[in-house]
Amino acid sequence: MTKIQKILLGCIAVGVLLILTKSFWLERVSALYTLYTLRSDASLVLLPTPRALQSGDTKLFPGASTLGLYLQVPWEKFSTDERPRAIVLMAQGKDASIGVLENSDIRDEARLLNPRDYLRAEKYFSGAATDSNFLFYDAILSASPKNVSLLLVSRRSLALAALVYFKQIYFPPTVKEVYKFESTDIRGFQFDEEKNSIKQVTFFDKTDRMFTLIAKNLSEAELDAVLLSIKEAGASE
């Protein structure tokens, strides 16, 4: 066999190998490109910081029993605007409000958005990251592109890359700080934006339903007091 024939045979062998393993490499190249672009997003490297809710001396008043929840508000006089799966409570005489929205099941959404990445995370973490909506959301927020190897040679790297993919979808892009909290009846995450009167909270009740709370012009103590007041509707209001 001549030298040229050996080279041609080697090229053919390499070509066949690449064809047979194309799904393996295409998967990793695609994930690598996604991670490379996401590393420039400063918000995606933010990780939740545990924080205890502190209501201080905040005075609360009966608020609303809706969406299967009961919550109190820091104003004596207010009006409500109730819609299917949502309610807004607006203070009278001041520009302050609290809105609560019941979200869809985040795991069902993720399965529809990217079934391959969802299944990858579910398989690698043995359900520990997908056994509940809270665990899945917690795993997403706790993922960072900086903690994923750009070589992507392991199942762990691909599973973490999948969580980062979902994080860039569900993480508010203008957030400067994110806090993780837990009370007797709910647990969740608070997202703070620098010099913004709006505070966003994602929380989960005892049945693992997911809610978004938007607070406008509430102090930290007032927001904490409201969160501590949230419980199942009818539970000794």
What are the pLDDT digits (tens) for 168-204? 888 887 888 999 999 999 999 999 887 778 899 999 9
Is the backbone of residue 137 left (phi > 0), alpha (psi -120 to 50) or beta? Answer: alpha
CA distance 100 to 211: 7
Q: Give burial (CB, 10 Å; 0-12/13-18/19+) of 29.
A: exposed
32 pLDDT above the threshold of 70: no
Sign of the alpha-carbon torsion through 130, 131, 133, 137: negative
- In the chain the beta strands, taken as DSSP E runs, fall at 49-50, 61-66, 69-73, 78-83, 86-91, 97-102, 177-182, 187-192, 198-204, 210-216, 231-232
Confidence of residue 24 (pLDDT cuts 50, 70, 90): very low
CA distance 95 to 116: 45
Which has more confidence, 12 or 235?
A: 235
CATH number for the region 41-236 comes to 3.40.1000
Q: Which pTM was predicted?
A: 0.81
6 pLDDT above the threshold of 60: no
Q: Domain extents for the chain? A: 41-236
